[in-house]
Amino acid sequence: MGLTLTEKILKAHIVDGEFVKGQEIGIRIDQTLTQDATGTMAYLEFEAMGVPRVKTERSVAYIDHNTLQSGFENADDHRFIGSVAKKHGIYFSRPGNGICHQVHLERFGAPGKTLIGSDSHTPTGGGIGMIAIGAGGLDVAVAMGGGAYYITYPKIVKVELTGKLSPWVSAKDVILEVLRWLSVKGGVGKVIEYCGEGVKTLSVPERATITNMGAELGATTSIFPSDETTRQFLKAQKREEVYVPLSADEDAVYDEVVEINLSELVPLAACPHSPDNVKTIAEIGAMKIDQVCIGSCTNSSLMDMMKVAHILKGKTVHPDVSLAIAPGSKQVLNMLAQNGALAIMIDAGARILESACGPCIGMGQSPNSKGISLRTFNRNFEGRSGTKDGQVYLVSPELAAVSALTGVLTDPRTLGDEFVFEMPSEFVINDNMIVPPAAEEEMDSVEVLRGPNIKPFPKTAPLMDTIDCGCSLKVGDNITTDHVMPAGAKILPLRSNIPAISNYCFTVCDENFPERAKSMGESIIVGGSNYGQGSSREHAALAPLYLGVKAVLVKSFARIHRANLINAGILPLTFVNENDYDSISQGDELVIADVRKAVTEGVTELTIVNKTNGRSIPVLCELSGRTKDIILAGGLLDYTRESLK
């Protein structure tokens, strides 16, 4: 029996555990990346481990999220990350060099390598044949220190692509179609592997768009084979030496198979407020729009930008529409400036933003109240844009550009003849905004620069003998990390200050939660299905940790957030019977007796007693040997520090 591409790479990197579906395995990590919204905490954690220099093949720190410098906080974080990077063997991508996933694909990604990043869209690297996984900052810190990264050996879903995309139908429509099929929960515990003749028709940037939004499926990662198209892309980036051909064996066996005929796809949009709320443009109709934003790590490649420039050439943005464009990297911006495409965009009335995440994380360009915004981004969660009642639709660059001209949602197929963009045989290479680390003999003399907003990692403690406290919050299904720990220009600068940022924890759901949790001292949060979907931000676990949350009880978890809760020493529990969700109300007193003893002995079914109504509720506490030890120790930092002694 042959192997899938996923299995080939995982097998080559496994260092702990057995290669059995559903079992936990530890894999060796070749590369790591961080961004500045998660990076400061990741590097504080790395420092706390006492490892002098990273042990990966390549670790890169990117500045791309908190680039708006309206106060000293973001600039201080950038300075801190730059100094830590120089001291500890990490490459530093300066502000303005571009979005981490775009730049990493261009300059560092390599087929067959493993990559984890403290950003949920790290699977973008799957477009170049990597096993690239989003993780919490603490997991990245451990990997930089030479530790393994642990995942559940995943199910592998084969997406068989046939045919070829029709004119003005794009890679964005492919992943929106997959989301329509599988939903935001459909990829949990799975790797999505793209195969078939249709793969050959897709460029590396198009593949990266598809793997990027695999994060919205809840998937562990997504991956394309490494083929001649991959080689040509790497050659154009003057990195052909890292190319290796990689594909699944012909007789590989998959857990599921989904077939998509690219020729049959039509322009799609994800409607508010979920990436899987997908409809055709015909179903939505000619809806009046207020704003268009083009860019983000999903759709900001040179190919995307050239298609947009072609559509805008010689025309003017509709007077009722604000159009903002953010090229994904300095390389892309440079090439647009040199070939004249940037002038075309400016002439049309586009507002050119810096090469950064920007509006995607609510960092500027919030739409007007109740405004309808078409965005080429990956998430449209309620309030994420910075406007609470904003109506965000996720669309392709082609659809976004033509709609910016007409003022209404417009099918790009009305443009007529297709614009065919030929990938360049050579990209403009200038890595002067990537700062290499200090040589080993110089690292001791490098001073780490800390600003006053940078606070230590929150205090942790070993698992209690008995958890006896109140339910501080009860929430419903599909709670995102944006609900738990909002983004945006006001809150993101506090990412390195857990005491300050905790004041915003869950305020999207209940503005009184932070004060209530503080007054309770210790508490439990109760939630519904797919709790913690979205970003990899570990702050959605660290802020509850700081506020005294000891356990989170839900119907089901999103993968990264559950891992982050364990890393923070917060006990993750799920209902045995989902109907028992109705047996707990906010304010109820809950007891988990002898919980430390039960976890130590590997008991997987515990009982929560609701002292308020007298109900006994069975819950699952599914921890492996390693995650059990992490919870007992009080979190991954304590566990790792002990193991390094």
537 is catalytic: yes
* Count of beta carbons in the 10 Å neighbourhood of residue 488: 18
Residues recorded for the chain: 645
Q: Using an 8 Å Cβ cutoff, are 551 and 570 in contact?
A: yes
CA separation for the pair 277, 266 (Å, rounded): 16
- The DSSP bridge partners found for residue 221 are 191
Count of helix runs (H) and strand runs (E) in the chain: 21, 27
65 is catalytic: yes
Q: DSSP assignment, residue 217?
A: G
- Token reading at 306: 């050239």
* Annotated catalytic residue within 13, 88, 379, 495: 379
Q: DSSP assignment, residue 63?
A: -
- Beta strand extents in 335-390 (DSSP E only): 351-352, 372-375
Cβ-Cβ contacts under 8 Å for 505 (sequence gap 6 or more): 484, 485, 513, 514, 517, 543, 544, 547
- Token reading at 214: 């695999």
Burial 293-319 (b: 16+ CB within 10 A, else e): bbbbbbbbbbbbbbbbbbbbeebebbe
Measured CA angle at 397 (ends 319, 487), to 5 deg:
85
79 is catalytic: no
* Annotated catalytic residue within 119, 304, 411, 580: 119
**Residue whose pair of structure tokens reads 């994380």 in the numeric block:** 361
Burial 176-204 (b: 16+ CB within 10 A, else e): bbbbbebbbbbbbbbbbbbbbebbebbbb
* Annotated catalytic residue within 535, 556, 561, 580: 535
CA separation for the pair 577, 566 (Å, rounded): 22
- Token reading at 395: 């669309």
64 is catalytic: yes
Helix (H) or strand (E) holding 176: helix 171-182
Residue among 37, 64, 109, 488 at smallest CA distance from 295: 64
Asked, as a colleague might, if the bond just before 273 is cis with ω within 30 of 0, I would say: yes
Q: Using an 8 Å Cβ cutoff, are 561 and 481 in contact?
A: yes
Residue among 11, 6, 110, 12 at smallest CA distance from 57: 110
* Annotated catalytic residue within 13, 58, 65, 88: 65
579: exposed, middle or buried (C-beta count within 10 Å: 0-12, 13-18, 19+)? Answer: exposed
Q: Using an 8 Å Cβ cutoff, are 588 and 470 in contact?
A: yes
What's CA 110's distance to the chain center, in Å?
A: 19
- Token reading at 525: 């949060």
* The residue type at 257: V
CA separation for the pair 47, 42 (Å, rounded): 9
107 is catalytic: no
Three-class DSSP category at 588: coil
561 is catalytic: no
* The residue type at 68: L
* Annotated catalytic residue within 30, 64, 77, 139: 64
Q: Using an 8 Å Cβ cutoff, are 127 and 105 in contact?
A: yes
CA separation for the pair 107, 234 (Å, rounded): 9
Q: Could you give the count of Cα atoms lying within 13 Å of 265 in the half-sphere of its Cβ?
A: 30
What are the catalytic residues? 64-65, 119, 379, 535, 537
